[in-house]
Structure 1
Amino acid sequence: MANWTHHRASINGIEMHYVTEGEGPLVVLLHGFPHTWFSWRHQIGALAEAGYRVVAPDLRGMGQTEVPGRLEDYRVDHVVADVLGLLDHLGEQRAVFSGLDFGQFIAYDIAIEHPERVRGLIGMQNPFYAAYDRLPSEIERERGREHFNHMSYYLDDPMTAAQDMDAHPREILTKIYHVLSGDGDFMQVWQSPPGVTYRQALPVPPPLPWSWLTEWELETYVSEYARSGFSGGVNWYLAGDMNWEYRRDRGDSITRVPFYFLCSAGDVDLLNWHGDDPIEALKEHHADVRAVRTVDGGGHLLAMENPEAVNKVLLEFLDDLG
């Protein structure tokens, strides 16, 4: 039985939902899109049992946390303030942060801007910010003229994108989760022509249950996104240019706290958005790389697909931090 405790609090001007379990040094787990805190369901209890206080929030615009309407509300500084406000609300000065996708990038932002609040960083799948040498929208739209590209799809017609996803939450979530898993092939999406919807470009997955996702687990996500809609998550993509400029103008984009990295060899994100040799490039983005582990089995959704291996490595990293 899970021992999760659900909370709601007014933090940084929005209503935030978060889940906690355990007592001890704080570990904060930050999800991506289209996810919620529930993507850490296999890690929360395991880390709590090992003696940690684990917190998994719903990030702004997703899950049960408020969905701000303005695009600028999804700028880096606002989301960083959400997470630091959560630490203050919890009465905690420092934490170990880990995440996936957008959540991982925010963990990096916190480490760069507020290293005094970070006891350690555990990167998962996303080793550093995606490698763009100019506005992300320009690059992604160029790719979108050659074949379907979900990023340019969101940029070109965000209202239609969100409405199509809102109308078919179960279908879009099932398709996205499978194509990002180790059993899927994201390259099939790029074989579709420009002009189709993301839902149409995604291959049809096998019926549930899968080895790592049951029907009731999927239903947890479906019920959340059927209520909140997908516009908040799409706004994270639409804020890409302003966040790229924000990070560029910040000047320093190197973390200087203890850094650990965990990945699966076949992750589509790791292979396609971080240069030719992202593992070798880690030291260019993180000044204090302590350890790197590659886990066999699983794709981008590694924490759900191969939780036993992930939990083992996470605990090794946390133990190394002392």
Structure 2
Amino acid sequence: MSEITHRYIETNGIRMHLAEAGSGPLVLLLHGFPELWYSWRHQLLALAAAGYHAVAPDVRGYGDTEAPPRVESYTLLNLTADIVGILDALGEQQAVLVGNDWGANIVWWSARLFPERFRAVVVLNIPYEVQPPASSQMLKQWSGQAFNFALYFQQPGVAEKELEVDARRTLRLFFYALSGDAPADLVPYLFTRKPANAGALDGMPEPQRLPTWLSEADLEYNTQIFTRTGFRGALSKYRARDLDWEELSGLTKMSVQQPVLFIGGERDSTMRFARLEATKALPNLHKVVMLPGCGHWAQQERPAEVNAELLAFLRQEVEH
């Protein structure tokens, strides 16, 4: 029986923490906000048991990985170079990429920028877009008088002041509010009707109890890490989006040619408003899976279903 082990590597000028299990073809698992490698705890062991080398880093700015001070360090060009550096540090030529939330953005662009290094991709909840993530100016135009999380996160210090008062409460509210366990009308309110001058946590209800997929021990692990690190590194990716727009807008002719598995939660905040046309137009789309009643944290909320789809895809696309 495999167990999860930990080590550090040097990649793209930073020291990165990896959690890993198993041996065999390499599968990299990239988390989003506000998560850690720990969000892939169920997938690491399932992949290892199936004969894969599963690796989940704390991505740049999170957990036990370095968090450089300059926002310029958090562009997608740097984040994708970090991932290529993992392969180099592990002595691997290729890997399969899996990502959720911001990790999905890193997956999409890694596959486009380094097609020779990534043989297949699995993306949760963030559909493929030809253009890079929207600039802050575009977000302002789209949001109008409604609150926008990405815009609120732009000004250094503002979100940190709110989120770091009580990291446990911040994580508890985020994990519950964006999950499939929250009231059905909560996501539309948070993303389209919440006042523009609100805080990130305003309008997020306290759950009467934690969702069944999130134990007190799970919440405690995340709380200890974010209490120690704060949220600055995690928020810095949002603050680099205007740089991403400048740097990547000229690279949009590079498409994803690899085999793609897309998994979405029907109650996910992104899936409520996103369009799937560009994803469905990809030349090697394997399958689009929608998980009924699932929210934004698909790999944690529905580990059995996600693992089954992931392993079936890998068996078809990756030769042992």
Which interval holds the TM-score relative to the shorter structure?
over 0.9
- Give the structure 1 partner of residue 128 of structure 2: 128
Q: Does 1:61 align with 2:58?
A: no
Per the alignment, in what secondary structure is the counterpart of residue 255 of structure 1? coil
Q: Does 1:281 align with 2:278?
A: yes
Structure showing the higher helix proportion among its residues: 1
- Give the structure 2 partner of residue 193 of structure 1: 195
Identity %: 36
Per the alignment, in what secondary structure is the counterpart of residue 164 of structure 2? helix
Number of residues of Structure 1 aligned to a counterpart in Structure 2 = 314
| CA deviation profile, 1:229-266 (whole Å, cap 9, x unmatched) | 10111111111121123221123241011111112222
- Give the structure 2 partner of residue 291 of structure 1: 287
The alpha carbon displacement at 1:129 in A equals 3.6
- Superposed, 1:1-322 pairs within 5 Å as 3-129=3-129, 136-155=135-154, 157-184=155-182, 185-190=186-191, 191-208=193-210, 210-272=211-273, 274-275=274-275, 278=276, 280-284=277-281, 286-321=282-317, 322=319
One-letter code aligned to 1:281:
A
| CA deviation profile, 1:72-111 (whole Å, cap 9, x unmatched) | 1011121111111111111111001010011111111111
The alpha carbon displacement at 1:7 in A equals 0.5
| Cα distance, 1:290–1:143 mapped onto 2, change above 3 Å | closer
| CA deviation profile, 1:7-26 (whole Å, cap 9, x unmatched) | 01222211110111001111
The alpha carbon displacement at 1:131 in A equals 6.7
Alpha-carbon separation, structure 2, partners of 1:172 and 1:306: 22
Per the alignment, in what secondary structure is the counterpart of residue 67 of structure 1? coil
| CA deviation profile, 1:25-73 (whole Å, cap 9, x unmatched) | 1100000010000000111101110000000000000111011110110
Are the equivalent residues in 2 in contact too, given 1:60–1:79 (CA < 8 A)?
yes
Alpha-carbon separation, structure 2, partners of 1:74 and 1:16: 14
Are the equivalent residues in 2 in contact too, given 1:264–1:297 (CA < 8 A)?
yes
Per the alignment, in what secondary structure is the counterpart of residue 127 of structure 1? coil
Alpha-carbon separation, structure 2, partners of 1:240 and 1:77: 11
Are the equivalent residues in 2 in contact too, given 1:112–1:252 (CA < 8 A)?
no
Per the alignment, in what secondary structure is the counterpart of residue 60 of structure 1? coil
One-letter code aligned to 1:180:
L
TM-score between the two structures when normalised by the length of structure 1? 0.92
Alpha-carbon separation, structure 2, partners of 1:127 and 1:11: 27
| CA deviation profile, 1:93-139 (whole Å, cap 9, x unmatched) | 1001010011111111111111110111112111214878x952123
Instruction: Please tell me the root mean square deviation across aligned C-alpha atoms, in Å.
Output: 1.9
Alpha-carbon separation, structure 1, partners of 2:268 and 2:131: 16
Alpha-carbon separation, structure 2, partners of 1:135 and 1:117: 26
Per the alignment, in what secondary structure is the counterpart of residue 188 of structure 1? helix
One-letter code aligned to 2:202:
Q
Which shifted more, 142-151 or 173-182?
142-151
Alpha-carbon separation, structure 2, partners of 1:66 and 1:173: 21
| Cα distance, 1:94–1:266 mapped onto 2, change above 3 Å | same
The alpha carbon displacement at 1:2 in A equals 6.9
Structure 2 stretches of 5 or more lacking a match?
Answer: none
Alpha-carbon separation, structure 2, partners of 1:131 and 1:266: 24
One-letter code aligned to 2:198:
V
Are the equivalent residues in 1 in contact too, given 2:98–2:123 (CA < 8 A)?
yes
